[in-house]
Amino acid sequence: MLKYTLKRVLYGMITILLLITVTFFIMRSIPGSPFIKGEQKMPPEMLEHLNAKYGMDKPLFVQYLTYIKNICSGDFGESFKKVNNTVNDMVARGFPVSAKVGAAAIVLSLLLGLTLGITSAVKRGGLLDGFSMVFATVGISIPVFVIAVLLMYLFSGGVFRVLPTYGLTSWKHYVLPVACLSFRPVAYIARLTRSSMLEAMQQDYIRTARAKGVPEFFVIVKHGLKNAVLPVITYVGTLVAVLLTGSFIIERLYAIPGIGKYFVDSISGRDYNVILGITVFFGIFVVICNILVDVLYGVIDPRVKMSE
């Protein structure tokens, strides 16, 4: 198991290095200067001073090695646009906010998605099964911004007007963002759980457990769900990374001061260091979550250990 874990960590480190390399050279290949926006003009002396201050006057490969060194020490760089603000400061301010909303969406997604999927598989062909599959199809098909606008209209606009649409000052402010973030994951988890449960419930060990008189609840949860949950864990690994680091669209629509806000602002302001830093932070978070999922695979399913 240790060898399996170390191998996954090594693959993760290589992936992170490739991500940093590709992102860095793409950002440096963008035409123009991050200090000049649109048709704005700047004196050459001032432009040279800014390039020297941020190390952009050095050869590209030297800049790359310097950035790798800074990343290894946990320094994501300094913002070009916001004076006395580093990318680390922005991540420290925005990530906890995004993580709160994301954590609530993850819990809701798992509770509703697993419940719908299990019930749909156990009551296959019934009314609830049909409803679950319709909901799953709709949830996967409709873009998240459409769901966000629809919920805003229903609960904050011209129908009920009971929920706020900006900020996070009370529990009511979490309802709409969490509902939007969890809508598609609930649908996807429900479909995964249903298909895996249908396959698991047809196995011999399920019939053996029932023949021994094991209560149906334990047959479903202990024997069926335990063997059907692996595809869900694979999906949840990436889901955790995506939701905890914030949804850029949802945070923008609901004026949530999370990490997504800084990323969107940095794109519109051509703040290359912030774009690069948040992209790398997001990538590192995704890789770490995937490594944890791989290790969890080995804990849940001992057969994975054989693939060392």
Q: What's the pTM value of the predicted model, to 2 decimals?
A: 0.81
Q: What secondary structure letter does DSSP report for 86? A: B
Within 10 angstroms of residue 272's Cβ, the number of other Cβ atoms is 23
Would you state the pLDDT for residue 39? 57
- Other residues' Cβ atoms within 10 Å of the Cβ of residue 22: 12
pLDDT at position 107: 92
Q: Quote the pLDDT of residue 38.
A: 59
pLDDT at res. 254: 86
One-letter amino acid for residue 303 of the chain: R
CA distance 161 to 155: 5
- Cα 44 → chain centroid: 42
What percentage of the chain reaches a pLDDT higher than 70? 93
What pLDDT, in 10s, does the model give residues 240-294? 877 877 677 888 888 888 888 888 888 877 788 888 888 888 888 888 888 888 7
- Eight-class DSSP state of 304: G
**Cβ-count burial 134-166 (b if 16+ within 10 Å, e if not):** ebbeebeeeebeebbeebbeebbeeeeeebbbe
Identify whether the C-beta of residue 160 lies closer than 8 Å to the C-beta of residue 154: yes
Q: Give tens-digit pLDDT for 130-187.
A: 888 888 888 888 888 888 888 888 888 767 778 888 878 888 888 999 999 998 899 8
CB 293 within 8 A of CB 241: no
DSSP, collapsed to helix, strand or coil, labels residue 164 as coil
Query: 18 falls in which pLDDT band (50, 70, 90)?
Result: very high
Cβ neighbours of residue 295 closer than 8 Å, sequence gap 6 or more:
4, 5, 8
Ordered by start, the domain boundaries in the chain are 87-307
Residues 116-126 pLDDT 10s? 888 888 888 77
CATH number of the domain at 87-307, please? Answer: 1.10.3720.10
Amino acid at 272: Y
Higher-confidence position of 77 and 268: 77
